[in-house]
Structure 1
């Protein structure tokens, strides 16, 4: 039997580790809360409605992303601390061409948005998973998980074809991008993420250290992306967007670009797409397919995790493939 003293020592170690790991996260949440409350008040006090609107959009993007970012960092830290490298290698086929679609389908089990997928993909690479498979998972996880598909069905009641179209176009984009990286990707383009904890740390301590490192590291880039999205929202008038609703060939790239800058969480973007009723169905599909894979906050997260050179190349090609997949799927189903 375990002695009471040993149990007490273990509890004290766990408590100290949680406190140590949580200080940085609490500080980030506290600063974000104060900024969210005081920002609009300060803007209104200075009689600058555009600044107040900027703070509103910035807070909305950041706050809706933080819970899923936290989910992703928890999963990432758990993989790094508790999942043996050999277990991950056994789950995926050794052939990258087969591993990519398996990883893409596996993305359906993570109920998070794009903020969560980046640290998880980084952890998978650190644990020996082929980058092509990890990138396929990164793209598919925020786009085809059950929460997103249910939200899409609620946003488009009576239109199951929209849910199916989103599933097929998103999964197809993820698999194609994984295959493209396996064929044409170069190691010097990708900066593999470093471990958050000590090199030989395992177990609970490694989990807590990795959680703190990944959350604070990715959280800073989430804030940068939210700021960029808020700036676009107040800089581009709505009347400009209404000019392009007549032609599907103009509407599709327009909404695909709009998805990049609006940075709407994948759990909520279907409701935004449904509200854009003046646009063709294929254009709204492109908005939902592109958004979880390429947006400003995701670009910032990828640049901070994998390097700027990778993020620019990968995001550009992903956008083109996602638009093409949306057009083909929309022509077939919608």
Structure 2
């Protein structure tokens, strides 16, 4: 009975600390996604691939979305003709490199401020490098799902050959939880050239009356809260159960190893799939038993690659592209966390 009481106490304490940040994150991201046009950002992106990846990684400050919302936004950037380096950089960094997650992490780890800045800085570094690596693929369409590939503009230097007959069969784009591409709206059809793309409206939502945009924003907030709230409750329950049910000796054995602690927390981050807005409070429950590097690995790797996010990524990318992302992000996260364990902890 005492263990049950301890588990319930930990469970509700995690929820009480995390829910305000979840509400703020959903409200802020829904407002920006429905009232800001990302096409204007694309026009300002530097031509240099490394700089484009860096700029894309910083866009999270303008679109503070968690890993549940970054995939739809990255998808729209891609079909609008954004450089691949920019889109990949945004995809990996946005869930972490944004003011809401920074504030939440600072609140959870105010006694370890170095962990807060390492999280943001290392996430920015990893996203920029991976975006730069993907920029070597001049045409990202072979890495995309067919529906997305057909909606993307053809790079001017490599126009498509012999496939014109299939360009008119663009299917309806994905019907996910975002209203930016429309759940019941008519999807945009890109004819495979930049001129056609430029003639499109800037944003399917910005053209609507203010009252309609406000209604869509409220609907989006409700939908995201329903989805993310369930994930938050599940993640908090897992954290409480692990802390109470797993023998202390096992936790200490894994948590204090320089390598084992990192691997354990990366696997946990992938499985638990908790929202980046509140994952710092989840990690905080392991702060007394796991190394600093392993906590950092959890905070970096989880928002980039987890089971929930992989399912969303599969709606945009082919499997091999996700494997590339997974391996690159995993290797870089592990190396950084190991260096922190060896030289910072």
TM range, normalised to the smaller chain?
0.5 to 0.7
Q: Equivalents in 2 of 1:278, 1:127: separation in Å?
A: 46
How much does 1:247 deviate?
1.0
TM-score normalised over the length of structure 1: 0.65
Structure 1 residue runs without a partner (length 5+): 1-48
- Provide the residue aligned with 1:238 in structure 2: 246
User: In 2, are the aligned partners of 1:255 and 1:286 still within 8 Å (CA)?
Assistant: yes
1:160 matches 2:160? no
How much does 1:289 deviate?
0.9
User: In 2, are the aligned partners of 1:286 and 1:322 still within 8 Å (CA)?
Assistant: yes
Q: What is the DSSP-based 3-state SS (H/G/I as helix, E as strand, rest coil) of the residue aligned with 1:142?
A: coil
| Residues 19-39 of structure 1: per-residue CA shift (max 9 Å, x gap) | xxxxxxxxxxxxxxxxxxxxx
Change (3 A) 1:163 1:297: same
Higher helix residue share: 1
Change (3 A) 1:313 1:218: farther
| 1:254-293 matches, cutoff 5 A | 254-276=264-286, 277-293=288-304
Change (3 A) 1:287 1:95: same
| 1:76-115 matches, cutoff 5 A | 76=33, 78=35, 82-83=37-38, 85=39, 87-115=40-68
| Residues 130-167 of structure 1: per-residue CA shift (max 9 Å, x gap) | 12211111211111212222222222233221112112
- Provide the residue aligned with 2:306 in structure 1: 295
| Residues 189-226 of structure 1: per-residue CA shift (max 9 Å, x gap) | 22336643423767117979998999999999979989
Q: Equivalents in 1 of 2:220, 2:84: separation in Å?
A: 19
User: In 1, are the aligned partners of 2:95 and 2:276 still within 8 Å (CA)?
Assistant: yes
Which of 113, 117, 141 does residue 187 from structure 1 map onto? Answer: 141
User: In 2, are the aligned partners of 1:117 and 1:138 still within 8 Å (CA)?
Assistant: yes
Change (3 A) 1:66 1:119: farther
Change (3 A) 1:71 1:254: same
User: In 1, are the aligned partners of 2:236 and 2:282 still within 8 Å (CA)?
Assistant: no
User: Could you say what the CA RMSD is over the residues aligned between the two structures, in angstroms?
Assistant: 4.0
Q: Equivalents in 2 of 1:186, 1:254: separation in Å?
A: 33
Structure 2 residue runs without a partner (length 5+): 149-172, 175-180, 189-200
Q: Equivalents in 2 of 1:222, 1:144: separation in Å?
A: 19
- Provide the residue aligned with 2:339 in structure 1: 328
| Number of equivalenced pairs | 274
How much does 1:302 deviate?
1.4
How much does 1:73 deviate?
6.0
TM-score normalised over the length of structure 2: 0.63
Q: Equivalents in 1 of 2:46, 2:60: separation in Å?
A: 16
Which of 181, 205, 208 does residue 204 from structure 1 map onto? Answer: 208
Q: Equivalents in 2 of 1:157, 1:230: separation in Å?
A: 20
